[in-house]
């Protein structure tokens, strides 16, 4: 229907254009008669002739090319005569365009011949116009008949719809009810899926760096990568075994959660990656998975000074007024890092650099930062740190090593706002569920968590042996160190 209307509209436009063409040719013919009868046209008359003759030609070309049907009609009525009877019109138009005939060159016979040719040509154009009008009438009539048929069909369909509408309404109602029930179920499943996705994202972020997660989500392989220079940080709590022996498992969990919450808030300010926590041990690395030149040593050492400063104001939650002390060990060197496993992938570090950093921590002193000569060399290169020579120490598994104490950073470090925030380390009852466990397992207060608090208490209850068993030995473990939390680190002896 639309194509039929479009065709009729084009023919109608062609009909309008041919009328304009005939009108402009008639006007231009007057100026042509004057030229052949009187001689050269004045400038204004010549401009008028050019204007009307060009307009007539443009309208004629537009008419012939506006519709395929019009083109066929033109070729059948006029086109075959154009090269014959109307061929000299083009020559006469070219003579008028030159406008170089004076009054002595005027010729009545040329004027009569021009008039006869133009009159015949315009009559043929009018004949073409009449055929276009017939074509428009026929197409309009066809459209009217088609519209009447459509009206009849519409009325018939309306009657049929009125007859079967009760059945349609019944079916639609049943379908709507079914769709609504499926929509409710789908919404519930979508909420469950989003909740599980958030939970899996939280767990994944605890195990892998952000860059590795991006590669895994893009379905890219994450091959093991060798890093030429990184800095490893290890720390543990002094006398943690004695504290564990005189505290309940929940009190130990709350204490470690409060401590690591403070640590985690501080390391966010540095270009470092928290690898894992093993009981009271805290491991951080800088220089991977994104390389940062030789700034990794400065980042780790500044962070270590910040953590030591923060631990001075820390109090054990279930023992108000009693603080903690930590030992810190730092080493700089090469290592290999990569994702290990497919079922539960871990971002693991391999190499002797990790083992030496752990040895620095275990052979250090409370509230001091023990660094190797390789770390000191990088610090001397970047500048801005004060160190103290400890001398040559006998390091287990490594023999004699020259080590140093990291004393301070020139210019100091930024004041830690959380240490002066009221209530940041408020007392927590032993039955309180730590925030990090709520984040992983849910707090049981909302439907979104999908797990009751009792489930969390059951998991935490597995730590009951902490009251009589060491959470971590005072000396570093030989061989491999793994963790059920953020990734794993491997130390070679």
Judgement on whether residues 223 and 120 belong to the same structural domain of the protein: no
> What is the pLDDT confidence band of residue 373, given thresholds at 50, 70 and 90?
very high
- Of 129, 155, 181, the position where a domain reaches its end is 155
Give the start-end residues of each E strand in 238-362.
273-278, 281-286, 326-340, 346-350
Alpha carbon dihedral 90, 91, 95, 97, in 10-degree steps, equals 30
Judgement on whether residues 216 and 142 belong to the same structural domain of the protein: no
> What is the pLDDT confidence band of residue 308, given thresholds at 50, 70 and 90?
very high
pLDDT at 304 over 90: yes
Q: What percent of the chain has pLDDT over 90?
A: 22
pLDDT at 77: 65
Q: Is residue 191 part of a domain?
A: no
Q: What percent of the chain has pLDDT over 70?
A: 77
Give the start-end residues of each E strand in 254-367.
273-278, 281-286, 326-340, 346-350
- Rounded to an integer, the average pLDDT of 70-86 is 64
Q: Is residue 449 part of a domain?
A: yes
Residues 313-325 have pLDDT tens digits of 888 888 888 889 9
Residue 83 neighbours by CB under 8 Å, 6+ apart: none
Q: Mean pLDDT of all residues in the chain?
A: 78
Residue 206 neighbours by CB under 8 Å, 6+ apart: 440, 485, 486
Judgement on whether residues 143 and 259 belong to the same structural domain of the protein: no
Residues 90-111 have pLDDT tens digits of 788 888 888 887 766 667 888 8
Q: Is residue 172 part of a domain?
A: no
- Of 127, 155, 183, the position where a domain reaches its end is 155
pLDDT at 278: 84
pLDDT at 371 over 90: yes
Nearest of 74, 47, 44, 46 to residue 59 by alpha carbon = 74
pLDDT at 126 over 80: yes
Judgement on whether residues 280 and 389 belong to the same structural domain of the protein: yes
419: left (phi over 0), alpha (psi -120 to 50) or beta: alpha
**Number of structural domains, the chain?**
2
CA–CA distance, 111 with 38 (Å, rounded to integer): 9
> What is the pLDDT confidence band of residue 482, given thresholds at 50, 70 and 90?
very low
- Rounded to an integer, the average pLDDT of 260-287 is 89
Residue 308 neighbours by CB under 8 Å, 6+ apart: 326, 328, 367, 369
pLDDT at 409: 87
CATH number at residue 264: 3.30.70.1230
Q: Is residue 10 part of a domain?
A: yes
pLDDT at 5: 56
pLDDT at 4 over 70: no
pLDDT at 223: 78
Residues 225-239 have pLDDT tens digits of 889 999 999 999 999
pLDDT at 403: 92
Judgement on whether residues 94 and 235 belong to the same structural domain of the protein: no
Judgement on whether residues 136 and 221 belong to the same structural domain of the protein: no
Judgement on whether residues 212 and 121 belong to the same structural domain of the protein: no
- Rounded to an integer, the average pLDDT of 66-79 is 69
From 8-17, 65-74, 157-166, the region with the lowest mean pLDDT: 65-74
pLDDT at 333: 93
Residues 280-292 have pLDDT tens digits of 899 999 998 888 8
> What is the pLDDT confidence band of residue 458, given thresholds at 50, 70 and 90?
very low
Q: Is residue 258 part of a domain?
A: yes
pLDDT at 250: 92
- Rounded to an integer, the average pLDDT of 250-262 is 91
pLDDT at 417: 43
Q: Is residue 187 part of a domain?
A: no
Partners of residue 388 on adjacent β-strands = 405
Nearest of 225, 476, 208 to residue 335 by alpha carbon = 225
CA–CA distance, 442 with 437 (Å, rounded to integer): 7
Judgement on whether residues 132 and 242 belong to the same structural domain of the protein: no
> What is the pLDDT confidence band of residue 483, given thresholds at 50, 70 and 90?
very low
Q: Is residue 299 part of a domain?
A: yes
Judgement on whether residues 232 and 131 belong to the same structural domain of the protein: no
Predicted model pTM: 0.49
CA–CA distance, 442 with 438 (Å, rounded to integer): 4
Judgement on whether residues 484 and 414 belong to the same structural domain of the protein: yes
Q: Which domain holds residue 117?
A: 2-155
Judgement on whether residues 131 and 224 belong to the same structural domain of the protein: no
- Rounded to an integer, the average pLDDT of 80-96 is 70
Q: At what angle do helices 295-311 and 249-267 cross, to 10 degrees?
A: 140
Residues 388-444 have pLDDT tens digits of 999 888 888 888 889 999 998 887 776 544 444 334 444 445 455 555 455 545 554
pLDDT at 81: 57
Judgement on whether residues 282 and 408 belong to the same structural domain of the protein: yes
Residue 28 neighbours by CB under 8 Å, 6+ apart: 49, 52, 53, 56
pLDDT at 446 over 50: no
Q: Is residue 372 part of a domain?
A: yes
> What is the pLDDT confidence band of residue 167, given thresholds at 50, 70 and 90?
confident
């Amino acid at each position: 229907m639309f194509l039929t209307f479009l065709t009729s509209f084009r023919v109608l436009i062609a009909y309008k254009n041919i009328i304009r063409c005939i009108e402009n040719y008639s006007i231009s013919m007057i100026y042509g008669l004057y030229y052949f009868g009187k001689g050269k046209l004045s400038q204004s008359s010549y401009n008028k002739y050019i204007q009307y003759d060009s307009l007539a030609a443009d309208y004629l070309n537009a008419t012939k090319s506006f519709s395929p049907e019009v083109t066929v009609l033109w070729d059948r009525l006029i086109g075959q005569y154009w090269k014959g009877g109307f061929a000299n019109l083009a020559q006469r138009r070219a003579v008028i365009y030159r406008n170089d005939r004076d009054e002595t060159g005027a010729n009545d016979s040329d004027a009569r011949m021009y008039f006869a040719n133009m009159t015949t040509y315009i009559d043929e154009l009018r004949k073409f116009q009449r055929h276009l009008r017939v074509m428009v009438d026929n197409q309009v009539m066809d459209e009217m008949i088609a519209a009447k048929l459509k009206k009849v069909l519409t009325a018939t369909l309306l009657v049929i719809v009125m007859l079967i509408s009760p059945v349609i309404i019944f079916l639609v109602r049943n379908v709507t009810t079914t769709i609504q029930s499926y929509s409710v179920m789908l919404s519930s499943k979508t909420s469950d899926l989003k909740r599980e996705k958030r939970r899996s994202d939280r767990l994944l972020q605890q195990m892998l760096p952000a860059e590795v997660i991006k590669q895994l989500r893009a379905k890219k392989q994450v091959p093991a990568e060798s890093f030429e220079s990184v800095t490893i940080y290890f720390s543990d709590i002094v006398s943690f075994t004695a504290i564990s022996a005189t505290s309940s498992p929940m009190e130990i969990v709350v204490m470690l959660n409060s401590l690591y919450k403070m640590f985690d808030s501080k390391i966010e300010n540095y270009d470092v990656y928290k690898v894992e926590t093993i009981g009271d041990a805290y491991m951080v690395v800088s220089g991977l998975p994104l390389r940062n030149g030789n700034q990794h040593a400065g980042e780790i050492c500044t962070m270590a000074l910040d953590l030591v400063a923060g631990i001075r104001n820390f109090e054990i939650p279930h023992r108000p007024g009693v603080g903690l002390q930590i030992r810190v060990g730092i080493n700089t060197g090469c290592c290999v890092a990569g994702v290990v496993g497919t079922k539960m992938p871990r971002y693991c570090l391999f190499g002797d650099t990790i083992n030496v950093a752990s040895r620095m921590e275990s052979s250090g002193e409370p509230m001091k930062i023990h660094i190797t000569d390789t770390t000191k060399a990088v610090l001397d290169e970047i500048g801005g740190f004060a160190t103290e020579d400890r001398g040559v120490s006998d390091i287990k598994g490594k023999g004699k090593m020259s080590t140093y104490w990291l004393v301070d950073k020139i210019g100091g470090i930024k004041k830690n706002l959380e240490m002066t925030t009221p209530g940041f380390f408020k007392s927590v009852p032993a039955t309180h569920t730590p925030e990090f466990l709520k984040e992983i397992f849910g707090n049981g207060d909302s439907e979104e968590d999908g797990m009751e608090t009792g489930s969390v208490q059951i998991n935490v209850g597995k730590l009951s042996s902490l009251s009589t068993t060491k959470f971590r030995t005072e000396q570093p473990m030989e061989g491999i160190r793994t963790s059920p939390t953020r990734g794993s680190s491997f130390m070679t002896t």
